Structure 1
């Protein structure tokens, strides 16, 4: 095989692996089917002790260093929705500052996404700014690099802020989930129940004059409801538990990149936002 063919094969395999990662594949399987339910229900196998000759002393073994924990091993116990939601309400309600809320959420074990995500990414910009922007989750570039709001969607957001004469020094940017879901899928009901108390407390502590929610995924997580269509195209009051913030639901950044025609609606929302902020 020629050197060019080798390079082409290597490039193709690398692209295939990148694609698998982007859609959430994180484990290799073999070709034979397995009944995982039966395997998990079966009693653990206990190996019979090996016979030891009475005349020979047991060898002294050196202690092995503990194995490093992998992402799939971080969550050892199952996550129960009601228990997780109750723990989230208690942890979020006890936070008195945004930094304390960040620390409590990072230590929270009631959301299964913590076991699969590579990074915990909370926010960027200026806490306490008049404008708070709520995006859904870190993107691929953020997940690879470990920094919040740095990818192509974040760059589009920066351009949108500049269009209304603002930048990150005058806006606070946060995620509905600090852990990227596998394949960037939407949160399931258990994850929403675990993260929603932190989201509401986050908005309450940030106390913005205006809250811009980007996309239906972020809105469903923030509102704790699958029905968000009625919140489009008009201001609404977002109840964060300690009051309400004036909020707008705009298209997601991903949809704006995929479908430029949606930028007309986004521009209308930005003009309304600019007028409200003065």
Structure 2
């Protein structure tokens, strides 16, 4: 087994970053614990306790015969009804009712500030139960430029902002290369809560979050949108192709009564994982820059 003392500072930092991206947020043990030995000890304890726990039917039988017979409880329906309120009381069950509640909360907001308040008060999505932060749009909604990503990662959750950490630093450099900065555009994500272990959001979780991101777009009224990542492109384009098949082509997306041009590109994390794809992202950024200049949203 490799000890942390055998790693260089750079190797240790990379290992810790890997664990953080995998969803490991806390280290609870100061000393190593042999879980296999614990498990074997538990099995041995259960085997030794099993004979004492077995019932003795020869002693119980006379008591059973003397007991007066009683009719069986006639209400299986009552048992089912009694358990139903418990399941309905869990606010994190994704279902059609939760989608309706999300739609009502989103459409009731008349500004991005009101929408943020509504989102923070909403408890109808599983993901909020395990998340530390609710990630909402940041930047300048009056810019007419919107960049949308998929869901928060570990760094986003810790900092409470979209595109934090290494991927955020890379995105800042990508935007700067075409004359933009994050404070001068509106930057947001489809899913406002980090899925555990950075897993993909389920179909139900996606539909619950849909009204909130669509309302962000409706209130901000962007004139051009850059979509980052496979999940984001599929969400807005309604197609099942990979990001390599969806990127680099302008399409129109309809939100409320608006039709907005949007182009998809690779997510910064994709570029950190496979730097060879940076040439594809650069081509997409140039196309985005050209459209912004056509719309007089970018002058330099």
TM bin, normalised by shorter chain, reads 0.7 to 0.9
* Aligned residues of 1:131 and 1:211 also touching (Cα < 8 A): yes
Which of the numbers 157, 173, 176 marks the counterpart of 1:162?
Answer: 176
Residues 127, 91 of structure 1: alpha-carbon distance in 2 compared, 3 angstrom cutoff: same
- Give unpaired runs (5+ residues) of structure 2: 29-34, 44-88, 294-300
Matches within 5 A, 1:215-226: 215-222=229-236, 225=238
TM superposition score normalised by structure 1: 0.72
Q: How far apart in 2 are the matches of 1:147 and 1:262? A: 25
**Alpha-carbon offset, residue 7 of structure 1:** 5.9
Residues 96, 7 of structure 1: alpha-carbon distance in 2 compared, 3 angstrom cutoff: same
Which of the numbers 107, 118, 138 marks the counterpart of 2:152?
Answer: 138
Aligned to 2:291: 276
**Alpha-carbon offset, residue 263 of structure 1:** 1.2
**Alpha-carbon offset, residue 134 of structure 1:** 0.3
Name whichever structure is richer in helix by fraction: 2
Aligned to 1:178: 192
Residues 14, 257 of structure 1: alpha-carbon distance in 2 compared, 3 angstrom cutoff: closer
Aligned to 1:24: 23
Q: CA RMSD in A?
A: 3.1
Q: How far apart in 2 are the matches of 1:154 and 1:6? A: 28
- Give unpaired runs (5+ residues) of structure 1: 34-74
Which of the numbers 239, 259, 269 marks the counterpart of 2:274?
Answer: 259
Q: Does 1:235 align with 2:234?
A: no
Matches within 5 A, 1:45-84: 76-84=90-98
Aligned to 1:124: 138
Aligned to 1:64: none
Q: Does 1:90 align with 2:89?
A: no
**Alpha-carbon offset, residue 175 of structure 1:** 1.3
* Aligned residues of 1:112 and 1:191 also touching (Cα < 8 A): yes
* Aligned residues of 1:131 and 1:208 also touching (Cα < 8 A): yes
* Aligned residues of 2:91 and 2:125 also touching (Cα < 8 A): no
Q: Which has the larger radius of gyration?
A: 2
Residues 210, 15 of structure 1: alpha-carbon distance in 2 compared, 3 angstrom cutoff: closer
Q: Partner of 1:128: helix, strand, or coil?
A: helix
Residues 171-213 of structure 1, C-alpha deviations (whole Å, 9 max, x = no match):
1111111211111111101111100111111111111111001
**Alpha-carbon offset, residue 147 of structure 1:** 3.9
Matches within 5 A, 1:91-110: 91-110=105-124
Residues 21, 226 of structure 1: alpha-carbon distance in 2 compared, 3 angstrom cutoff: farther
* Aligned residues of 1:238 and 1:245 also touching (Cα < 8 A): yes
TM superposition score normalised by structure 2: 0.67
Q: Which has the higher contact order (CA 8 A, sep 6+)?
A: 1
Name the count of aligned residue pairs. 231
Which of the numbers 93, 99, 114 marks the counterpart of 2:128?
Answer: 114
* Aligned residues of 2:146 and 2:185 also touching (Cα < 8 A): yes
Residues 223-266 of structure 1, C-alpha deviations (whole Å, 9 max, x = no match):
5x462556433111111122221101111111011111111111
